[in-house]
Structure formats: structure tokens, C-alpha cells
Amino acid sequence: MTYLAKPKLRHPTLATNKVGYTRRDYEGKISTLCAGCGHDSISASIIEACWELDIEPHRVAKLSGIGCSSKTPDYFLGASHGFNTVHGRMPSVLTGANLANRDLLYLGVSGDGDSASIGLGQFAHAMRRGVRMAYIVENNGVYGLTKGQFSATADQGSKSKKGVVNTDSPRRAWSTPTARSTWWPWRCSSARATWAGASRATRRSWCRSSRARSAMEARPSST
Amino acid sequence: MKQIEAVNDFVIKFANVNGSGSASANELFAKAILRMGVPVSPRNIFPSNIQGLPTWYEVRVTEEGHLGRRGGTDMMVAMNPQTWDADIAELAPGGYLFYDSTRPLPPSKFRDDIRVIGMPLTEICNAVYQDPRQRQLFKNIVYVGALAILLGIEPEVVEKLFGEQYKGKEKLLASNVQALHLGCDFARENLREPVGLKVRRADRVGDRIFVDGNSAAALGCVYGGATVAAWYPITPSSSVAEAFQKYCTKFRVDQSTGQHRFAIVQAEDELASIGVVVGAGWNGARAFTATSGPGISLMTEFIGLAYFAEIPVTLINVQRGGPSTGMPTRTQQADILCCAYASHGDTKHVLLFPEDPHECFEHAAAALDLADRLQTPVFVMTDLDIGMNQRLCKPFQWDDSKAYDRGKVMTAEELEAGRDFGRYKDVDGDGIPWRTLPGTHPTKGSYFTRGTTRDAYARYSERGPDYIYNMERLLKKFATAATLVPQPVLRPAAQKTGLGVIYFGSTSPSMHEALQELEGRGIHLDAMRLRAFPFPESVVQFLAEHERVFVVEQNRDAQMRSLLVNELDADPAKLVRVLHFDGTPITARFIVQAIDAHVGKANVQGNTTTGAKEAA
């Protein structure tokens, strides 16, 4: 849907927050994810949360790994610098960015493939170090971009579109309490409608701005 | 038997057990000779082990100032029974064996053509010291004392070194001086037969300093303005990060607030350490990592990202013997190709080749400037021989008025003034685009950095023309890099010649010595020392001007030669390989033999020459 230009029109009476921005100022490019994808709800929640918290958009640095979740930083906070890094390694890049400039807010966006499989180590070490960041894991239990493979958080017994049953137990890294970093287990509806059969029973969309807001708010002020 | 006789020109080797405290005593020995104004070139030859395995310390005493490894041993201080046989076998005929004679050894353990000097070190120490650890440690100091008398090193010089080392620790000072005198006194009374090897006071050291390349590179990073370092421990590069920590603690702590003006992360692995450096570089800091071959292999995905997304990154690669875990404590120049083309897809990277600690300092600082200017990874390709051995070199110099080259960073004012910002647009014709740093301006200049293809304005694009524009611009940027990197150093032959030689990095001191020797044999070569990749135009000229060019390097596959052929379309037929790759530093003897042999058999075709075999 990249060929659709995002309209710049906005309602003339849109409310502004304390730093003078409307919600529209927190938007990014138009999403290229599948229609109905829960990730878009998370993006919308981030937009809402940043507006509510009176964060200046350009004072946020948004970093991600690789995958559907990691594409989303292009779809919110268009005035922020973003960095779509390599698969599973967003935490280290964000750590380095953080060391270079302590004045910005750091938002890390990742998925279950990114943070529970290939990047489980970096995820854990970012927690261990207490990196000053909001860490959002967009967990849908599936590899969306490569079309339907199970991720490490897929529920045991889930059946893929092709009929394969997941026999492995899911990785639940999210239940680890962390001292100083903030992260949130986003369990959203499946990335692809075609995969919904395996997930409908167990996955709910928890994408409320209150969640995003608590993630952004709870970030410690310094490391 | 004719004993070797030499003044200020010999090689003495200490065979020890690692973890026995010999390293500091041996270093003391080398420094004492330096203090007498005689250049030395010491080398640690050590195992990948903490305690108990053989380790050697080789000191080349060289009034002429030849700092490369010579090869051969004139005197062996044999303190390790494990390696006794090989150590004895290695001594040159007429050489000297110094050993601990406390326990008698059968005559079969010696050679007829060497002079044997026995001293009951264990007995002497056991008589004086009660503590087992002291008995062990002071044995090393006792032999230094005896050797001082035998070789003519002034004991007062050693005492002065002790005084500096143990300043404020009077007890340690006194016990070390006592041990030294135990050795001196024994030698004066019992080892009266003169030894043909002598150290004679000279004035050949000048203002040169004695430092290891890893410390030098770390200091170069401090002066070069690095504020972020991320690393993962790996031999032989760990001491770069450790020295950086030390220098930062000294120079980069705000005196009034105690705040650190630096950040160092010992990461969980090399992927994370390069990730931290990429993140810091993206966000405007000068950042570096130090690693060795296996670390480079792990970092390659990120190196490709930094190349394609155009992020300043400095990597100090202290090369060791590969492949795989290879020879972790031995030296090689075998990462040339893997660094030049690190990562998948079409990539090329800037490499710098320091010849000694002085250039480690200069190149580390230069790399940080180049990385910012070129917005790309820059590798400082040092090696274990330079990195972990102390070497005499020119003192470091730094012009405090020098401003860092931060490259093309667009400011908020420029954006505000309406300047067009295309992150990947070549507006200046040098292939280098402008960048903005996060947080610069509320509404202008933000962009989404990615490893996927994009157009000149950083918008995601898989269009062929956008991709080609970007890839060709990166090539143009690489051509620009060739004009900015340290240029080659030419050393013309005494007379006109069709022979040339190309070398780089730690081969340098041995090459200089070899060129002298070859000239003595009537073989004249114009020599070019490469200091960086990409190769400037002068390298093309050099190749064109010579009929035959030897390429001297320390790897099996002639990697620099491949790079010359690949990048410059150089004629492979005229590039003669001179390859040394057994893990020891290349010697002048090796180079001379290889080139002499090749020149000598003019009627024999072929372009590989490996020289004669030599003892390790």
C-alpha cells in the first residue's frame, strides 16, 4: 500500500498537547503490514501514548531489529530518527546510541522472532545492564515476513496453515522480572489472517495505549 | 670450538614456564640494555594458556637498530625442563647455554659445540628465601643479576629500574635488589671465564620510546576523540580495551564532578560489541571496538550494515594466526581479504596498516577521523607482533590545535535555512552524502536508517535505478577514500632497478634490514610500504614501473597480492609471492633468502618463493 500517499489533511480543531503537537504529528508513513494486523494497533498506541505524555517527537530515537514488528517504527513518529538494524541485535545498537546521547528517549521495538529466538541473548543482556529504554516486544507467535513459521513463543499444539503442529514448548522470556528496563509483552492478534486458525483461541489483542503509555512512562530516567 | 663473539649485536632467548613470574624479570633485562643506550627488540612467544606451559622471551640486542626478529639464538637461558631438548638444539654453534645447575644433568643433555654456563639458581634461592613463591620469583631476578655481570650490563642501571618500579614500596625494592646482588655476586666469584657476547654503552636509542602497539592504539583512540568503546575479550586484542580504560580513567574523568567522559562496554559477545559501536556511531559518538580474527568473523553482518547504511565505525583488528581458533598467541597478517570484503553482497572496506606502535597511535586516531569523514567502517590492521610486544619507536606527537574531522553532519541551522537533505544523495560529487544526527531538528532532517535498499532520500525502494545509484555512489566514495587514507611510503633503491617489493604492517623492520643486506649482495629493489586500502594511484604507477614486484606478507594465500590483482588489474605474472606464515614474526634472513633465491634462478619460471626453512 506504499503507493497510497498519506493524506496531510487534518481536522482544524484537533487538540494539541502541552508541547504543541497534535496526534497527527506523531504519525509516520502509511503501514505496509497486512490489513487488520495487531502491530498497527501497537503503532497507534505508541502514537497515542507519546502524544499524551507530551514527548517531542524528535527527541525519541526508535530502533528495531528485523521482521514485521521491526518494520513498524517507520509507521509512527515520522519526525524521529529511526534505525532498522539487524535481526535480533536491536538491544546492542540501542545501548550504543544511548551511550552517545543521554538526552534522547530510546524506544526499542522488537518481535518474538527478534527477541525470543535469534536475539534472546541480546534481549537478556539489555535487561541485565538496565539499559534506559522502553522495550516493546510485539509477540504474535509467528514469523510473518517469511510466511507462517512458528516462532519460539508459539503455543505448543498450535497448527500452522500447512498443517504442521508445534511440539515445542513456548519460550516465555517475558515473565522474567526486570529491575530497570521497561518492556511489555504485547500479545496481539496474528500477523496474517491466514494464520489465525492456529491462534484465534489463545491470542488476544492487548494493544491499548495505556500499555504503551506505561512502557514509555516507566522508563527509568538514567542508567 | 669457536665461541660466538659479538658486541651489541646478538640474540638471547629465555625459555621459561608461564605463570612463573619470568615475564617481568625478562622485561627488566631488556630495559636495562635500553637504558645503556643500546636498542633492543624483545618478543614474547607465549602459549594460549594461563600457567604451566612453555613461554619464551627473545631479546635481540642491536646497536644497528634492527627491530625485526633476527632468527637464531646466540644465548639460551634454559629455565624450562619441558622444552630443554628443543631449546638446546636451537642454539647456534658456538653459542652459550645458561641453566640452573642445581640438579645434575647427564652429558647427553648437552652439546659439544656450545659453551655451557651452569648456576645453581634453585639452591641459591632455597638457601636465602623460605617462602616457596619467593623462591620461585626471585630465581628470575637472580639470573638477571648473573647475566648482567656475564654480559657487561651495569647492575646500577637495573637497580635504578627497580627504584622506578617499586617507588614507595621499599620492602619490595629492597628484596629485589638483594636478589639481584645474589646473582651478581655469584657470577663475579664463580663464573669468571669471559663470555663473548657483550653489551657496551652506546647512544643509539635517542628520543625513541618503548611501548606496545595495543597501548599505542588505545592512546590513539583517546587522542582521536573516541568516547565509546565496546569489546569482547579476545587474544591478542584485549589489552587495547584495557589500556583505553586506563587512559580514559586518567584523562577523561571530569576533575570537578568525577563524571566519566567516556563509556566502555564489555559486551556479551562480538556481535553485541560491534552493535554498540554501530549504535553510538549512528548517534554521533566516535566509537570503536578492538578484536581479532574470530571476532571479525562474528561481526561481519553488522559490518555490512555499517557499510550499506553508512555509519562511522572504527575496528582495531589485532591479527593472530588463523583460520578458526588458529594460533591465538601467534602472529599473522591473514585477515586482509576477510576485512577488505567483510560481509555478504558487494562490500569494500577501508583498511589501515600500521608498521609499529607509533603508527598504531597515528592510525587509530586517523581511523576515527576517516570513519566520520567517509561514514563507513575503517579497520586498523595491526597484529600480535606489534600489538603485544614492546617496541622502540618514534615518540607520539599530537597537535592540540588539531580539530577532529567530523565529516558531513548537517546542523539544525542548515536544515532550518532550507538546505535540501537527502541522506543518500551525492551532492558534492565525492560519493559522500550528508547525514543528520538524531534529535537535531523538530520537523526536518529525520530519516529511517535501514540495511534494506532505499532511494537518495532514504525512502525504502527496490527500484533498480535507485539501487544502482546507491551502489555506484558507494564505489565513488571508495575512490575518494583512496585519496584520504595514509599514502604509501616509497623507499627507492640506490640505483635504477626493474625490481620492486611491496610490504606492509609488521613486516617493516625486517624488510628494512633485508633491503640493506640485499643491497650488499648487489640486489637492488625499490620498496613500497602500503599503509592503506583502497590503493592510491601511486601503487598502480609503482606496479607499472617495475618488471617484477615481490609482495612480502605473513599469510599462506598471498592475500595482499590477491587484493592488488583484484583491485588494480595488476598482472599476476609479475607479482612474486614471498610468504611467511608459521606464526613467528617474519625475519630479514627469510626475506633475503627468498628474494635472493628467486633473483638467482632467473631462468626458472614461477612466482612463488618461500625461502629456506628456519628454526622457529
Q: For the residues of A135-196, what is the DSSP string, one character each?
A: EEEEE-SEETTTTSEE-TTPPTT-B-TTSPBP-SPPP-GGGS--SS-EEEEEE-S-SSGGGH
Find out whether B342 and B304 touch, Cβ atoms under 8 Å: yes
Is there a contact between B280 and A97 if contact means CB atoms under 8 Å apart? yes
Asked if A198 has any chain B CB less than 8 Å from its own CB, the reply is no
CA distance B116 to A137: 72
CA distance B27 to B389: 10
Q: What is the CA radius of gyration of chain B?
A: 27
pLDDT digits (tens, 9 = 90+) for B77-97: 999 999 999 999 999 999 999
Q: Is the pLDDT of residue A175 over 60?
A: no
Q: Is the pLDDT of residue A53 over 50?
A: yes
Asked if A97 has any chain B CB less than 8 Å from its own CB, the reply is yes
Is there a contact between B448 and A2 if contact means CB atoms under 8 Å apart? no
pLDDT digits (tens, 9 = 90+) for B99-146: 999 999 999 999 999 999 999 999 999 999 999 999 999 999 999 999
Which residues of B sit within 8 Å Cβ distance of A?
A: 227-228, 230, 263, 265, 267-269, 271-285, 287, 301-302, 305, 436-443, 446-452, 460
Residues of B whose CB is below 8 A from A101: 283-285, 437-439
Residues of A whose CB is below 8 A from B276: 92-93, 95-96, 99
Residues of B whose CB is below 8 A from A56: 442
Give me the pLDDT at residue A218, please.
55
Give me the pLDDT at residue B20, please.
84
pLDDT band at A11 (very low <50, low <70, confident <90, very high): confident
Q: What letters, b where the CB count within 10 A reaches 16 and e where it falls short, cover B417-428?
A: eeeebebbbbee
* Phi and psi, residue B242, nearest 5°: -65, -40
Is there a contact between B271 and A92 if contact means CB atoms under 8 Å apart? yes
CA distance B403 to A165: 62
Find out whether B135 and B2 touch, Cβ atoms under 8 Å: no
Asked if A101 has any chain B CB less than 8 Å from its own CB, the reply is yes
Give me the pLDDT at residue A177, please.
38
3-state secondary structure B111-144: CCCCEEEEECHHHHHHHHCCCHHHHHHHHHHHHH
Strands B40-45 and B73-78: unpaired
Is there a contact between B450 and A93 if contact means CB atoms under 8 Å apart? no
Asked if A33 has any chain B CB less than 8 Å from its own CB, the reply is no
Q: How many CB atoms lie within 10 A of CB B289?
A: 31
Terminal CA-CA length for chain A: 40
Asked if A84 has any chain B CB less than 8 Å from its own CB, the reply is yes
pLDDT band at A7 (very low <50, low <70, confident <90, very high): confident
Which residue, A99, A65, A67, A101, is CA-closest to A82?
A: A65
| pLDDT higher at B49 or B162 | B162
Q: Is the pLDDT of residue B209 over 60?
A: yes
pLDDT band at A162 (very low <50, low <70, confident <90, very high): confident
Give me the pLDDT at residue A211, please.
64
Give, in order, the Cα–Cα distances in Å from B442 to each of A15, A85, B412.
19, 23, 9
Nearest to A96 among B269, B279, B438 (CB): B279
Give me the pLDDT at residue A148, please.
85
Q: Give kind and range of the element (H or E) at residue B291.
A: strand B287-291
Give me the pLDDT at residue B246, please.
98
Is there a contact between B439 and A97 if contact means CB atoms under 8 Å apart? no
Share of chain B above pLDDT 90, in %: 94
| pLDDT higher at A192 or A76 | A76
Can you name the CATH fold of A34-217? Rossmann fold (3.40.50)
Find out whether B380 and B505 touch, Cβ atoms under 8 Å: no
Is there a contact between B436 and A95 if contact means CB atoms under 8 Å apart? no
CA distance B614 to B616: 6
Q: Rounded mean pLDDT of A103-124? A: 94
CA distance A21 to A60: 14
Give me the pLDDT at residue B77, please.
98
Give me the pLDDT at residue A202, please.
29
pLDDT band at A3 (very low <50, low <70, confident <90, very high): low
CA distance A121 to A99: 20
Q: Rounded mean pLDDT of B490-517? A: 97
Regarding an ipTM greater than 0.95, the answer is no
Is there a contact between B448 and A73 if contact means CB atoms under 8 Å apart? yes
CA distance B261 to B265: 14
Q: Rounded mean pLDDT of B555-576? A: 98
Cis before residue B323, ω within 30 degrees of 0? Answer: yes
Cell numbers placing B86: 628443543
Mutate: best of B248, B276, B307, partner A, most A CBs <10 A: B276
Is there a contact between B278 and A125 if contact means CB atoms under 8 Å apart? no
Which one-letter DSSP state was computed for residue B205? -
Is there a contact between A81 and B451 if contact means CB atoms under 8 Å apart? no
pLDDT digits (tens, 9 = 90+) for B447-496: 999 999 999 999 999 999 999 999 999 999 999 999 999 999 999 999 99
Which one-letter DSSP state was computed for residue A114? I
Q: Where are the domains of chain A?
A: 34-217
